[in-house]
Amino acid sequence: MNSAKQFIAADLGASSGRVMAGGWDGVRFSLREIHRFANGGIQTPEGLRWDLPRIWSHLRDALLKYATEFNGAPGGIGVDAWGVDFGLLDVEGRVLGNPFHYRDKRTHGMAKRFFQRMPECKLFEATGTQAMEINTLFQLCSLMQDGDTTLRQAHTLLMIPDLLLYLLGGEKCAEYSEVSTMQMYSLREKQWASDVLEAASIPHSLLPKVVAPGTVVSNLLPTVLGEDGFYRPVPVIAVASHDTASAVAAVPNMDVNSVFLSSGTWSLMGVEITEPITTPEALKLQFTNEGSADHGVLLLKNITGLWLLQECVRQWQLEGQDLTWDSVVRAASGARALQSFFDPNNPIMQAGEDIPAVIRGYCAETGQSVPQTVGEIARCIFESLSLKYRSVLASLIELTRRDLSMIRVIGGGVMNASLCQMTADACNCTVVAGPVEASALGNVMVQAIATGYLRDMGEGRAAIAMSFLCDVYEPRRSDAWDEAHARFKQLEVD
């Protein structure tokens, strides 16, 4: 099946959403943006929530735009989104209010309370998931502790992308890569972790069947189909619904010697493996195991990423500075190298709204040169990220016993040539950067496999490699980076 086909990929992030038309002509992929919108939490009397009706409205707008701009119905539609957050349905299948936002404060302290029922090491062994208070498990525990009336009415729990698939096609299911973020699923046994559910008093009946990435779960509901201008069935496909899994699926030439680095608001750095690694060492190093698009496992570490620079730019603009992202990157390139660092995962970096002031204060307290200018602070961020990547790379080599010699960068960080070169230099590895729109591409590729246009992910990745140019950054060996990393290690918190 090599005729040209278009697919709709809804790629939803915590700060923005976009809907893309992904084309497959039998040889190459193409991407075209249909619709983009701002996303974020809304503060309500009950806490921080997602505005689900607004997200749904934007998705419907995108479908109408597709019908207007393209001739005929798409070959499929898939949704990928962030992890851990969920919506609840009643027995009639009605959505019970807006889902909570993972940054809502109700989960503070829940992880420690849960560890009294099940030790952290046992929880990690059972699920492979790093214990973070934002995880679905602890969100549910907080609702039960508060006697939440919505939870008492709930009949089915659906993760955010699965919830949107349900609204599109009417079928309730839980996609494998997304449920792996919940800390309630056993990646090793490929089933719900019964011991965890029992410890948390979560009824198994609340959880739907788990489906593999690339499952055609239904067709668009007739009401959606007709209202959006499509006049033949459109497959609704559970892609790799967790955006990280979709992004990694689109990494060209990924192999056992490669590390993926999804660089954006968060940096997610890891490798593909067949079985989860749940050793005490992996727990100590704070790695997590998540489901991949080929029903395998991603061993990765979460690192606070370019959110740090986004917050700095926001603060500088509030102070009246007329800055663009490109001007900040240029200023960083002109600043002095390797002066001061911080661990991006240090909680202090999340503690205040004025991140430039937090960075200056931290550098002063640790006896380092204090960055003052826009360029100095931006360079401090880029170098700190690069040095963190070096530490994570060393941990991955230790855990997997692999010769990891290539870092493959995807996401928005691909466009930051300075950061890519610093990463190559700090890690003494070749860095291959691209594609940028990896999550949407992975979404489209899995749809093409599900509908028979591609055989498997290997064939899809080869097509992506032919479709999009990647930039290569070779390491420039320098003892200065070794010395800088020795200083950085003294500042690391994990």
Contact (Cβ atoms closer than 8 angstroms) between residue 468 and residue 51: no
Span 419-428, average pLDDT? 98
Q: What is the pLDDT of residues 192-207, one digit of tens each?
A: 999 999 999 999 999 9
Determine which helix (DSSP H) or strand (DSSP E) holds 156, and give its type and residue range. strand 156-159
What does the buried/exposed string (b/e) look like for 213-236 if buried means 16 or more CB atoms within 10 Å of the residue's CB?
A: bbbbbbbbbeebbeebebeeebbb
Phi, psi dihedral angles at 288 (to 5 degrees): -130, 155
Does the annotation count 326 as an active-site position? no
Q: What is the DSSP secondary structure assignment for residue 173, as one 8-state letter?
A: -
What class, spelled out in words, does domain 5-243 have in CATH? Answer: alpha beta
Q: Where are the alpha helices (DSSP H) in 401-474?
A: 417-427, 438-450, 457-467
Helix/strand/coil (H/E/C) assignment for every residue in 339-361: CCCCCCCCHHHHCCCCHHHHHHH
Q: What is the pLDDT of residues 117-154, one digit of tens each?
A: 999 999 999 999 999 999 999 999 999 999 999 999 99
Q: How far is it, in rounded angstroms, from Cα 37 to Cα 35?
A: 7
Q: How far is it, in rounded angstroms, from Cα 75 to Cα 29?
A: 14
Domain ranges in the chain are: 5-243, 251-434+455-494
Taking the CA atoms of 192, 193, 195 and 196 in sequence, report the sign of the dihedral they define: negative
Instruction: For helices 307-318 and 355-365, give the axis angle rounded to 10 degrees.
Output: 110
Q: What is the pLDDT of residues 285-340, one digit of tens each?
A: 999 999 999 999 999 999 999 999 999 999 999 999 999 999 999 999 999 999 99
Write down the catalytic residue from 148, 228, 243, 425. Answer: 243
Residue 65 has pLDDT above 90, yes or no: yes
Residue 3 has pLDDT above 50, yes or no: no
pLDDT-derived band of residue 72, with 50, 70 and 90 as boundaries? Answer: confident
Q: How far is it, in rounded angstroms, from Cα 230 to Cα 119?
A: 52
Residue 1 has pLDDT above 50, yes or no: no
Domains 5-243 and 251-434+455-494 share a fold: yes
pLDDT-derived band of residue 419, with 50, 70 and 90 as boundaries? Answer: very high
Q: What is the pLDDT of residues 454-476, one digit of tens each?
A: 999 999 999 999 999 999 999 99
**Tokens, residue 267:** 């940096």
Helix (H, G, I), strand (E, B) or coil at 469: coil
* pLDDT score for 351: 76
Q: What is the pLDDT of residues 178-191, one digit of tens each?
A: 999 999 999 999 99
Residue 2 has pLDDT above 60, yes or no: no
Question: 92 CB contacts (<8 Å, ≥6 apart)?
Answer: none
Span 216-241, average pLDDT? 92
Determine which helix (DSSP H) or strand (DSSP E) holds 490, and give its type and residue range. none
* pLDDT score for 4: 67
Any idea which of 147-151, 154-158, 160-164 has the lowest mean pLDDT?
147-151
Residue 80 has pLDDT above 80, yes or no: yes
Helix/strand/coil (H/E/C) assignment for every residue in 16-85: EEEEEEEEECCCCEEEEEEEEEECCEEEECCEEEECHHHHHHHHHHHHHHHHHHCCCCCCCEEEEECCCC
Higher pLDDT, 423 or 71: 423
User: Would you tell me which CATH number, out of the four given (3.40.50.1360, 3.30.420.40, 1.10.3210.10, 1.10.1510.10), belongs to the domain 251-434+455-494?
Assistant: 3.30.420.40
Higher pLDDT, 388 or 231: 388
Span 390-411, average pLDDT? 97
Percent of the chain with pLDDT over 90: 94
Any idea which of 84-88, 324-328, 376-380 has the lowest mean pLDDT?
324-328
Q: How many residues in the chain?
A: 494
Residue 61 has pLDDT above 70, yes or no: yes
Mean pLDDT of the chain: 96
- CA geometry: angle 65, 67, 73, nearest 5 deg: 140
The 8 Å CB, 24+ separation contacts for 360-368 are: 366/342, 366/491, 368/339, 368/340, 368/341
- CA geometry: angle 21, 411, 286, nearest 5 deg: 130
- How many beta carbons lie within 10 A of that of residue 493, not counting itself? 12
* pLDDT score for 473: 98
Residue given tokens 């008492």 in the structure block: 152
Pairing of strands 471-473, 430-433: antiparallel
Contact (Cβ atoms closer than 8 angstroms) between residue 156 and residue 82: no
- CA geometry: angle 131, 135, 141, nearest 5 deg: 100
